[in-house]
Structure 1
Amino acid sequence: MKKNILFFLIIFLTLNMQAQNKELPYYQIPDYPEDYSSGNVAARMIDGLGFRYYWSTEGLSPKDLEYKTSEDGRTIMETLWHIYGMSEMIKNAPTATPNVRPTDFPDYSYEELRKKTLENFEAASNLMKGKQASDFEDFKVIFQRGEKQTPFPYWNMINGMLSDCIYHSGQITMMRRASGNPINPKVSVFNGRLRE
C-alpha cells in the first residue's frame, strides 16, 4: 500500500512539474510565420534562442548552478545572469529603450531568473514579428550612463547579444553535461520539439 502511494505521488509530482514547465515560453518553438519578412526572420532567431535556452536550463540542480570549468571561469548561475542581462537588451532594442548602466538587477532565484529570461525572449520576438526592413531603422541598442546615450543599429544586436546568448546557452549545455546532468536527449533543435 505504501509503495503504491509513493508511486502515485512520484507520478503526480512529475506530471505537475511537466505541466508547469509547459507554461513557460519555449517548451517548444512556435510555429513558423507565413513569410520571410525581416522582422519574422529576426523573431525566429530569438525563438530559436529561447528554445535552446529553455532546454539548456531545464532542471538544473544546485550542484549544476555552482559548476564552472575553471577557477577563473563563470559558474552556470553567473552565466544565467549574464544571459538575463542581454535578454533585457534584446527586449529593449525594438522600442529603442535605453539600457541604463550600471545595471542593478533584482535578486532572483534560479527559477525566477529563468522565467524572466524566457519571458524577455518571448516579448522581444513578439515585438519583431511582422516588421519590415524599414522598421529596423528605428530599432536601436542604446547604452546610457548618466545623461550620455550611445546608440547602435540593430545589426550590433544580431552579432552581439543574440549570438552571444546562443553561444552561452551552448556553454551551459556543455557545463551541465560535465557536471553530470546532461540535457534531455529528446531535444531536437532542428525541429524545435522533443522527439517522440
Structure 2
Amino acid sequence: MKLPYDEIPEYPENYDSGNIMTRMIDGLGFRFYWATEGLTQKDLDYSPSKESRSVLETMQHIYGMSEMILNAPKAKPNVRPKDFTIYSYEELRQKTLENLKGASDLVAGKQAKDFEDFQVIFQQGDKQTPFPYWNLINGMLSDCIYHTGQITMMRRISGNPINPNISVFTGKVRK
C-alpha cells in the first residue's frame, strides 16, 4: 500500500487560507513520512532518558494529535482518554499519514470564513470543551512538527539517520 507524503503534492494556485493550512499539513506529512520511514526496533525503543518518550511513544503522541487535526474541520469531538498503545509502528505510521492527508483535503480551498466553523473539541465523559481552529495551529500542528523533529534526531542518535537526499525545501527526494 502506497502511503501519502513520500513527496509534497504540487502547491495550490493561490494563497487562500485553506490552501496555506493545506501546505502546512502537507509539510508535516512529508516530514513525518521520512522521519518514520524504515525505523528499526532499536529506533522505536530509543529514548534519550528514562523520563523521556521513546520514538514509539512519540509516534503515539503524534497520532493522537493527527486525529485532532483531522477532526477539527468537522468540529468532531476528540474523546479522551484514549489508548494508542494498541497500534503497531506500521499502524501508527499509516494512520497518522492518512489522518494528515484527510485533514489536508478537508481544508484545501477553504476561505477564512469557513474556519469559523472549525473547532477543536475535547470530550471527557459528557463534558465538551471547544476551542477555535487558531488553537490547533499553535497547538497540535506545531507540536506535531516539533515532535517529528525529535524523531529525526533520536533515530540519528540510535544510528539510523533519515535519507540524506530528502529536501524539506522542495518536498522531494533528490535523485
Q: State the partner residue of 2:114.
A: 135
What CA distance in whole angstroms lies between the structure 2 residues aligned with 1:183 and 1:98? 35
Query: 1:29-48, aligned counterparts within 5 Å?
Result: 29-48=8-27
Find out whether 1:85 has 2:31 as its counterpart.
no
Segments of 4+ moved more than 4 angstroms: none
Q: Is the 8 A contact 2:119 2:133 kept in 1?
A: yes
Paired AA for residue 167 in structure 2? S
Find out whether 1:189 has 2:173 as its counterpart.
no
Of 96, 100, 103, the residue aligned with 2:75 is: 96
Of 79, 98, 105, the residue aligned with 1:119 is: 98
Of 52, 55, 65, the residue aligned with 1:76 is: 55
Q: State the partner residue of 1:108.
A: 87
Of 45, 52, 57, the residue aligned with 2:36 is: 57
Paired AA for residue 45 in structure 1? M
Q: State the partner residue of 2:127.
A: 148
Q: Size of the alignment, in residue pairs?
A: 175
Q: Secondary structure at the match of 1:130?
A: coil
Q: Which runs of 5+ in 1 are unaligned?
A: 1-19
1:105 is displaced (CA, Å) by 3.7
* Deviation sequence 1:78-109 (CA, Å, 0-9, x none): 00000000000000000000001121347221
1:117 is displaced (CA, Å) by 0.4
Q: Is the 8 A contact 2:60 2:85 kept in 1?
A: no
Q: Secondary structure at the match of 2:129?
A: strand
What CA distance in whole angstroms lies between the structure 2 residues aligned with 1:165 and 1:28? 18
1:148 is displaced (CA, Å) by 1.1
Paired AA for residue 176 in structure 1? R
What CA distance in whole angstroms lies between the structure 2 residues aligned with 1:117 and 1:169? 12
Which has more helix, going by share of residues? 1
Q: State the partner residue of 1:180.
A: 159
What CA distance in whole angstroms lies between the structure 1 residues aligned with 2:39 and 2:150? 14
Q: Sequence identity, in percent? A: 71
Q: Secondary structure at the match of 2:76?
A: coil
Q: Secondary structure at the match of 2:48?
A: coil
RMSD: 0.9
What CA distance in whole angstroms lies between the structure 1 residues aligned with 2:56 and 2:10? 30
1:35 is displaced (CA, Å) by 0.8
Paired AA for residue 5 in structure 2? Y
Paired AA for residue 89 in structure 2? Y
